[in-house]
Amino acid sequence: MLSTLQPPRSLSLLPLRRFHCSKTIVSAASSSPATTSDAASVSPPQSQILTTRRSLLSGETTASEIAKSYLSRIRLTEPQLKCFLHVSENALKDAEEIDQRIARGEELGPLAGVIIGVKDNICTEGMPSTAASRILEHYRPPFDATAVKKIKELGGIVVGKTNMDEFGMGSTTEASAFQVTANPWDLTRVPGGSSGGSAAAVAARQCMVSLGSDTGGSVRQPASFCGVVGLKPTYGRVSRFGLMAYASSLDVIGCFGSTVADAGMLLHAISGYDRFDSTSSKQDVPEFESQFLSVDRFESKPLKGVKVGVIRETLEEGVDSGVRSATQEAASHLEALGCVLTEVSLPSFSLGLPAYYVIASSESSSNLSRYDGVRYGNQVMADELNKLYECSRGEGFGGEVKMRILMGTYALSAGYYDAYYKRAQQVRTLIRKDFKAALEQNDILISPAAPSAAYKIGEKKNDPLAMYAGDIMTVNVNLAGLPAIVLPCGLVEGGPSGLPVGLQMIGAVFDEEKLLKVGHIFEQTLKGSSFLPPLLPNVA
Amino acid sequence: MSTALLRTIQPNHFTLLGTALLRRTSRSNISVRCSGSQATTTTTHEAKQPSQSRVAPKNHGSNKLDEILRDYEAVIGIETHVQLSTFTKAFCSCPNNYGSEPNTSICPVCMGLPGALPVLNSKVVEFGVRLGLALNCGLSLSSKFDRKQYFYPDLPKGYQISQFDIPIASGGYVDVDIPLEFGGGHKRFGVTRVHMEEDAGKLLHSDTGDYSQVDLNRAGVPLLEIVSEPDMRSGIEAAEYAAEMQRIVRYLGVSNGNMQEGSLRCDVNVSIRPIGQAEFGTKVEIKNLNAFSAMSRAIDFEIKRQALLYNQGQEDQIVTETRLWEEGAQKSVSMRKKEGLADYRYFPEPDLPEVILTQDYVDSIRATLPELPEAKRRRYEAMGLGMQDVLFLANEASVADYFDAVIGEGAEVKLAANWLMSDIAAYLKNEELSINDVKLTPKELAALIAAIKDGTISGKIGKQILFELLAKGGTVQGMIKAKNLVQITDPAEIEKMVLKVIAENPKQLEQYRNGKTKLQGYFAGEVMKMSKGKANPPLLNKILVEKLNAKD
Ligand SMILES: [Zn+2]
C-alpha cells in the first residue's frame, strides 16, 4: 500500500489544465489491471507532447496561445522558484512561426509547439549559456548543441535556460553562481541537482519537457526530488556536442517530462550519431512512440514475464525508510503488472561512489582548464600571466568547482595517478562487469533514485561528503554507461503535501526502449498517479 | 623567464560573432595582457645505452681545445616536430594553411569553446602510419590519445591532445650517409617513437611590449613528433639525422618539411661524458634551430662549452636547462633552468575513441610507400656513382625521379648525373626554380646527352641549347635542325677553314713556327669561331696541327 500517497493537487488557477487534466481518453479505473492501491483513482498522466500535437492539428488552440500561457506561468512562478537563468525573448516569435506553418498547411515536426527548457550548460546559439558559472557570465555561444539543433529542427521551442549547479557539480542546484532554485513541492527545499532547474521547471509546468545533463545522477536525482520523469540515456546515445563538459566519459544529455512518453519522445528527437561527437553511437534509434499505448489497450498483465532485479545494496541501511517502502511498493506494483521479481546483488556497488568522484574530478580538472579568461568569459585584469589565470579562475569559479578541480589535479599528478585515477578505472571495469551479469539475468534492475526525498535548502551545504553520499544510487549507472529512467512512485512525509520519491529503472546498453515500455505501463497504472506539486503560495 | 608584462586589453570579440561556420572567415584578435615563458612541451624519455658508433666531434678550435675534446664523448638526442600537410586541421575541419591572416582559420573546436569536441582527421593517422613505416617502426594497431596539460595562452583548451604511453609507432631507425667533407661513412640512428599530436597557436607580441595577441590559426594543426634514440655523437651527425627526416617527410608527402616556416622543428638534447664512462652526463636542451647548419654549429658549441666546464672541474655548472641558439652571435644562451620535471598530468583523452588499425590498412599504406632516400642512395651507389653524386641526386625526390626518368630513356648514368649536378643545378639555383618547373623533359635531356655522345653536336653547342630547352622546351632534334647546329665532321670543310685562318694570320703563324706553339689554341679558337662552334674539335685540332707544321 502506498500509504503515504497524497491526493494530487491540481494547478487550477493557471490556464494549463487542458495539458494534464482534460480529455481523459479512458478512465483508469475501468481498464487498468488490478494494482496494489485502491486509493481514489485519478486519470493517468497525459503526454503533453501528444496533447500539444493533437490540439494544434485539430485547431483547438494555437502555438502562440500555448507559448503565451507558459510564459505567463513562468512570470507568475519564477519569483518563488527561480528555475530559469534566462527566458528566451524569441519563444513567442517561434510559436507564431509554427502557427504560420499550420496556416500554410505545411508539415509540422513532432515537437512543433512543444515548450522546452534547456539546462544552462547546453549551448544555445545567441542565448546566454553559462553553466551557472560566473566565469561564463554573459557568454553567448556561436552555435547550438546538436541536441538543441535537433529540437529546433523538429519544431520545439526553447523557452529558456535552466538553473543548475555550476558546471554540473552538485546535487542541490545551490552551487549555481546566480540563484538558488526552490523545489515546487516545498519552497524551503532544494530541487536536487545538478539539473535542478530543468526538473523543477517541468514539475511546476513552466515548460512541458526539458533537457538536463547527467554525469552522476544529475537528471535522475532531481527528477526524484521534483516528482517528474528523468531519463538518462546510454552513453553515446545522444551527442555531447555543445554540452559543456564536466566529465567527458560520464556526461550524457538527458530528458525530463511529466510523463514517460514525453521524456521518451524528447529522447528520440535528440538521439543518434553525430559526426561532431566521436563518442556518439551509430546504434539505430528505435521509434519509441509505439510503446506509449493508452491504458485501455493494455492487457491484464501487460508486463507479463518481464524480469526485474531489485538491487539489494540499494535498500540497505542509509536509505530513508519512506524511500525504502515506496520502492518496495513500486516493486509490488510491477509484480502485479506481471513482472517476475528477484533480488540481485552488485558486489561492487559501494565502490562506485569513490571511483566516480575520482574520475569525475580528474576529467573536470582538465575540462575546465579552457576557462582561463583569455578568449572568452570572465577575465580579470592582471599585470602578469599567472596572475591573469589565478584571478580569472579564482573569481570565476565557485567553491565546489574549485574543490573538484583541486581533487582532480591531485588525482592525476605524477605519483598519484596509479593510486587514484587508474584504480578508479579498474573499479569502473568491475562495476560494468557486475551490471552486465545482472542484466543478463534480468530485463531491468530497480532501485531508489536517491536515498531520501528533497533536502532542505542549506541542509547539506556545509557537509559535502553527506551530499556526495546522496549520489550512491545513481553514479554506478554512469560508470557503466547504462540507460536509466527515474519516475515518481510515491510520496513521503514532508513539505505542505508530501515529497515525491522516484523509482530508478536501469536497462541494458542501448535498451531505452524496454525502460520506456515498462516505465510507461508502470506510470499509467499507478493509482493516484498525477504527481502535481501543490499550489505555489503566491499563485494561490 | 620573460618578464614582459602586458597592460592593455582588447575586448573579446568572439562572443559577438555569428555562427560557428562564419568563424572560419571572420577575423578577430584574441588578446591577452600578459606574456611569459612558454611552458615546455617536450617529452622526456629514458636514455638508452648508447650505440658504439664513435665519431670524434669535429671542431676547428685551438689544438688545446681539440685535446680536451678528445677526452669526451657527446650524446645527442633529437625531438622533431613535423607539421603535416593535411588539408584540414587534426580535430576540426578548419583549413590548414600557413600564412593566413591571424585568426581566420579557426572554429569552436580549435578555439576550445565550451561544448566543442575534437573529431580525428583520418589523414593524420594515415600520415602517422606512413612515417612510422618509413622509419622502420613497429606500429601500435591499437593506440590512443592522451591529454597533456599545461596553461599557456596559445593553448586554447589548457591541454594538448597528444599520445603518451602508446604512440602510434615505435622502435625504428633511420640510415644516413655522412658527406665526405665531414668524414663520410654510413650511420644508423635509432627512432624511439613517433606520435600524433596537435600544434598550439602563436603569440604575437606588440612592438612596444605592452601586450600580446594570440593567433590560433596554428592551433590544432596536426603534428607528428619523432623522438630519436640518443645515438648521435656530433653536430654533423645530428644535422644529417634531421636532414634525413626532412627528406623522408618530403618523399612521403606528409609535410613540406620547411624549417623556416616551422613545419620541421628540432629540439636537441646534448650531454657529454668522459670517454669510457657509462652513465650519461646532464642533458641540456637547445631550441631555436632554424637550419641544419645552425643545428650542427649549436651542438658543437654546446659540446665545447660542456667540455670546457668539465675540464675546469666545473661540471656541476652543467645543469638541466633549455638554451636558445642565437644565430647572429653564434652562441647559445640559457632560456630557463628546469627545476624538477614538469608534471603534465597526462590521462587518456575521453573525447576520442581508441585508434584501431587493421593489418590490411597498414599493408595498403605500405604498398603506396615511395622508394625512400636510403633505398635510392644504395641503388645509385650500386650504379657506380660516387657518394657526392648519390647524395645530390637522392636529396630531393623530384630530382631523383627526374634522374631516374633520364636514365630510363637510355642516357648514360654518369653523364646524366653530371648534367643534373652542374649546369641544370646552377640554372635552377639562379632562376629559383625546382626541377618540376623546367620545360626540358627527361626524354629530351637523354636525347641531348646522346646527340653529344654520338657527335651530332658538340658539347659546347649542347650547353648552349640546354638553357633554351630548360626555359622554353622543345626537342633537341628540332633545335639542331632549326639552328643548323649539326657538327662539321667533313675534313675537307674543316681544312678549308683552317687554311683560311692561317692565311689571315701570317704574324701569328710566324711566331708559332718560331717556337711559340701555345698559339695553337688561338688558331683553334679562330677556326671554331668561323665554324660557329660546329667544327668537331678533335678533327679540327688534328688538321690544324698538320697545317701549322706543314713546310711549304
Ligand atoms: Zn577549427
DSSP secondary structure string, B83-108? E---SB-SSS--B--TTPPTTSS--H
Q: Band the pLDDT of B432: cuts 50, 70, 90.
A: very high
Q: Please write the tens of the pLDDT for every residue from A219-254.
A: 999 999 999 999 999 999 999 999 999 999 999 999
Q: For the whole model, what pTM was predicted? A: 0.87
Minimum distance, in Å, between the CA of residue A249 and any CA atom of chain B? 5
Q: Please write the tens of the pLDDT for every residue from A517-537.
A: 999 999 999 986 578 898 665
Would you say residue A206 lies in a domain?
yes
Q: Closest Cα partner for B195 from B307, B84, B99?
A: B84
- Contact between chains at B34 and A362 (C-beta distance less than 8 A): no
Do A394 and A157 form a contact (C-beta atoms < 8 A)?
A: no
Q: Please write the tens of the pLDDT for every residue from A161-198.
A: 999 999 999 999 999 999 999 999 999 999 999 999 99
Minimum distance, in Å, between the CA of residue A318 and any CA atom of chain B? 33
Would you say residue A301 lies in a domain?
yes
Query: Shortest CB distance from A385 goes to which of B22, B30, B34?
Result: B34
Q: Closest Cα partner for A209 from A292, A151, A164?
A: A151
Would you say residue A492 lies in a domain?
yes
Distance A176 CA to ligand 1 centre (A): 31
Residues near ligand 1 ion, CB 5 Å cutoff: B 92, 94, 107, 109-110
Which residues 141-180 in chain A show a CB within 8 A of chain B?
141-143, 145
- Contact between chains at A141 and B30 (C-beta distance less than 8 A): no
CA pair distance A362, A413, nearest whole angstrom: 10
CA pair distance A20, A207, nearest whole angstrom: 12
CA pair distance A245, A410, nearest whole angstrom: 19
Distance B21 CA to ligand 1 centre (A): 10
Provide the pLDDT for residue B146.
98
Q: In terms of residue numbers, what domain contains A134?
A: 80-88+110-351+425-525
The DSSP code sequence of B139-165 is: E-SEE--EEEE---TT-TTSEEEE--S
The ipTM assigned to this model is 0.91
- Our measurement of the distance from residue B151's CA atom to the centroid of its chain's CA atoms, rounded to an integer in Å, reads 32
Sign of the alpha-carbon torsion through B284, B289, B295, B300: negative
Q: Band the pLDDT of B551: cuts 50, 70, 90.
A: low
Do A298 and A28 form a contact (C-beta atoms < 8 A)?
A: no
Chain A CA closest to residue B37? A385
Chain region(s) in chain B for CATH 1.10.10.410? 491-548
- What count of other Cβ atoms lies within 10 Å of the Cβ of residue A301? 14
Domain count, chain A: 1
Does the active-site annotation cover A218?
Answer: yes
Please list, in sequence order, all residues whose beta carbon lies within 8 angstroms of the beta carbon of residue B411, skipping any fewer than 6 positions away: B445, B446, B449, B450
Query: Shortest CB distance from B14 goes to which of A249, A375, A388?
Result: A375
Q: What percent of chain B has pLDDT over 90?
A: 67
Q: Band the pLDDT of A139: cuts 50, 70, 90.
A: very high
Mean pLDDT check: name the lowest of A91-105, A257-271, B53-67.
Answer: B53-67
Exposed/middle/buried for residue A314 (C-beta within 10 Å: 0-12, 13-18, 19+) = buried
Minimum distance, in Å, between the CA of residue A258 and any CA atom of chain B? 28
Q: Which residue has the cell 668539465?
A: B310
Q: Which residue has the cell 641558439?
A: B325
Q: Band the pLDDT of B4: cuts 50, 70, 90.
A: very low
CA atoms within 13 A on the CB side of B189: 32
Q: Which CATH number fits the domain that encloses residue A344? A: 3.90.1300.10
Helix (H/G/I), strand (E/B), else coil: A53: helix
Q: Point out the catalytic residue in the list A37, A47, A55, A194.
A: A194
Q: Point out the catalytic residue in the list A47, A195, A198, A218.
A: A218
Minimum distance, in Å, between the CA of residue B317 and any CA atom of chain A? 28
Would you say residue A368 lies in a domain?
no
Q: Closest Cα partner for A245 from B109, B105, B343, B21?
A: B109
Residue A38 in this model has a pLDDT that exceeds 50: no
CA atoms within 13 A on the CB side of A180: 12
CA pair distance A141, A40, nearest whole angstrom: 49
Would you say residue A173 lies in a domain?
yes
The CATH number of domain B491-548 is 1.20.1250.20: no
Across B219-319, the runs of DSSP E, i.e. the strands, are 222-228, 264-274, 284-287
Does the active-site annotation cover A194?
Answer: yes
Would you say residue A212 lies in a domain?
yes
C-alpha cell at B288: 631555436
Cis amide prior to A194 (ω within 30 degrees): yes
Q: Which residues of B touch A242 (CB under 8 A)?
A: 115-116
Would you say residue A359 lies in a domain?
no
- Per-residue b or e along B77-87, where b marks 16 or more CB atoms closer than 10 Å to that residue's CB: bbbbbbbbbbe
CA pair distance A397, A389, nearest whole angstrom: 12
Residue B225 in this model has a pLDDT that exceeds 90: yes
Residue B58 in this model has a pLDDT that exceeds 90: no
C-alpha cell at B492: 675537307
CA pair distance B38, B93, nearest whole angstrom: 27
Report the range out of A383-392, A531-540, B93-102, B189-198 with the highest average pLDDT.
B189-198
